Structures are given as structure tokens and as C-alpha cells.
Structure 1
Amino acid sequence: MSSPRLEKITTDNVLAACAIAVRPDQEGLVAPVARSLAEAYVQPDVAWPRLIVDGDSPVGFLMAFFDIRWRDDDPTDVRSGLWRLNIAAGQQGRGYGRFAVDALAAEVRRRGGSRLFTTWVPGDHGPERFYRRLGFRLTGETSGDQVAGELEL
């Protein structure tokens, strides 16, 4: 890993972003990038999609959300966090996921936030160990079949 960076998704890199594919055993745990970009397209005020690039090589994709109301019954429960993280199968274990979460945490702080949320599908091939190593703690909440985690910034 040289010096990775996050790039805005543009007409110049959208196909490279869509080509990011996780390992086959992870495919049921995270949506493909193309689906994430479709969701970002219809929710541009919420979604923050970015390509993770190292040098000239795309190595992953992340999509974040900022300042959304989490629960309808509590207008003060406003959250920012990681919506999707896809690291290319051949690039996993090289620090790109950690870089992406750290870069997103810096963006959340820049916007005045103090907590970073995410959800994940629990299971043997899931990312729970990764998120726990980064300091996320389980909140006790669920979202569909996913558990929620929170990182104090």
C-alpha cells in the first residue's frame, strides 16, 4: 500500500468502481458496487460514494451517509456512518479497509460528528472481527439481518 485515497465517483471511474468484487464467500454479505451506486443515485442527499484508489489502481469502494435520522420516534438520534465497504478480493488484508474507515472517521469529525455507525451481517465470513479490531462496539440494535456497531471518535 503506497498512499491510498478516496475519489469521488465520476464518469471516468464509474466502470472501475463497478468492477470491484469481493471474495465469492462474501458476496451475500455486501451488495455489489453497482447496486450501491444505484442507491446513491436515487438518494444523493444521503449517500456519499467513493472509490478507494492506490496509485492508479482501484482497490475498493465505500459509501457513507451523513446526518440521517436513525429512528422515527427520536428526532435527536441523528447518525453518520459507513453504509457499504467493498474491498476487492485480491486486495483484502493490505490495510485498505482500515484506511477507508479512518478516512471516513476523519470526514465525520470534519462535519462535527463524534460517532461513526455501521451495520454488518454476522457470520463466519463476515466483517465483525475487522470492525471490532478497529474499535467498533455492538450497540444491541439490528437492521434487518444485520447488527449495528458504533465507533466513538
Structure 2
Amino acid sequence: MTELRLVELSAETIVAVNNLSLKPGQEQFLAPVSYGIAATVLDPSSTWQRVVIGDEGVVGFISASFGGETTIDYLDSVLWRINVDADDQRRGVGRFAVTALLEEARSRGFDHVNVIYEAGEGGPEAFFHRVGFTPVGETEYGEVVAQIRL
């Protein structure tokens, strides 16, 4: 993969984002993209959604929120979703997207970013560890809360 860039989620990119493919078994760790997109409607000022564009079009999607109207500490600066097309996984797309997210968090004055995930074989845990997230707790549902300090 040569050059990657980020663009805002738009009418031109949403269909391609919804059609990103997964590797077998990954679907159990991912809510439908429409759930994440709905967050923009609920609280557009705190939601950050970007599409990763590669040489041949859309290769990934990342969604996060900052601040907003939450009283739950681990949701104040949180990565909600990262999808990388199955054919483009392990090619730097996810790392590129997370790096951009961390830059956005810094620019908004945050000193950390959290992520919430379900542990399990074939899940995102290894990726989150590789890019620097460290487990710091769990949700009331038993999901892992991991964090990168900025």
C-alpha cells in the first residue's frame, strides 16, 4: 500500500464503508456500521468519523467520540470502531487510522484514548496491543477497556 489519506464520511463513501469485507470469524466482534454512523446523528459535535482511502479506493473506516454527554469516564475519549477491509489488513491501514485518531485527540486537548473490545480468538485484541493500547479495566458487561496515554 503506498499512500493513505483520510476523508470525512460522506454520501460518496458510505456505501463502500458498508461493504468493507471481514476475515472469517471477525463479524462476531463487530456491530453493524450503521450503529456507529447513528452516533453522528445523536451527538454530531463529539463524533469523529473518517474513511481511509488507498490507491484503489476505500480500505478502512474509523469512528471515535470525544467528550459528549457521557458520565462514564472511559467513554470521554473513545475509539468506537475500526474496520479495515480483509484484503488490506496487516498492511498499515489500521495503524495509520489510529495514528490520525491520536493526533485528533491531542488537538482536542485529550491526554488519552480508550477502546472497548471483546477479547477472543480472531478478535481485535492483538491489533490494539500492537498499536499501543494497554488494558486498564473492563465494562460492566465484561468487555476490555484499554487505553493509550498521549
- TM-score, normalization by structure 2: 0.88
* Deviations 1:50-97 (CA, angstroms, capped at 9, x unpaired): 11111341001110101246545x7xx772121101111111111111
Aligned to 1:28, the other structure's residue is in SS state helix
Change beyond 3 A, Cα 1:20–1:145 = farther
Q: Which amino acid aligns with 1:114?
A: D
In 2, Cα distance between the equivalents of 1:33 and 1:79?
A: 21
In 2, Cα distance between the equivalents of 1:106 and 1:135?
A: 14
Aligned to 2:114, the other structure's residue is in SS state strand
1:4 and 2:4 correspond: yes
Cα RMSD, aligned residues only: 2.0
* Deviations 1:26-48 (CA, angstroms, capped at 9, x unpaired): 00101232332233333323322
Q: Which amino acid aligns with 1:118?
A: V
Number of residues of Structure 1 aligned to a counterpart in Structure 2: 150
Aligned to 1:84, the other structure's residue is in SS state strand
Tell me, yes or no, if the aligned pair for 1:120 and 1:128 is still in contact at 8 Å.
yes
Residue 118 (structure 1) aligned to one of 97, 115, 120? 115
From the two aligned structures, give the one with the greater strand fraction.
1
Aligned to 2:76, the other structure's residue is in SS state strand
Shift of residue 6, structure 1, vs aligned partner: 1.4
Shift of residue 140, structure 1, vs aligned partner: 1.5
Q: How does 1:68-79 map to 2 (within 5 A)?
A: 68=68, 71=71, 79=76
Counterpart of 1:44 in structure 2 is 44
Aligned to 2:31, the other structure's residue is in SS state coil
In 2, Cα distance between the equivalents of 1:56 and 1:66?
A: 30
> What are the ranges of 5 or more consecutive residues in structure 2 without an aligned counterpart?
none
Counterpart of 1:129 in structure 2 is 126
> What are the ranges of 5 or more consecutive residues in structure 1 without an aligned counterpart?
none
In 2, Cα distance between the equivalents of 1:78 and 1:34?
A: 19
Q: Which amino acid aligns with 1:127?
A: P
Change beyond 3 A, Cα 1:143–1:48 = farther
Deviates more, 1:143-152 or 1:121-130: 143-152
- TM-score, normalization by structure 1: 0.87
Tell me, yes or no, if the aligned pair for 1:63 and 1:84 is still in contact at 8 Å.
yes
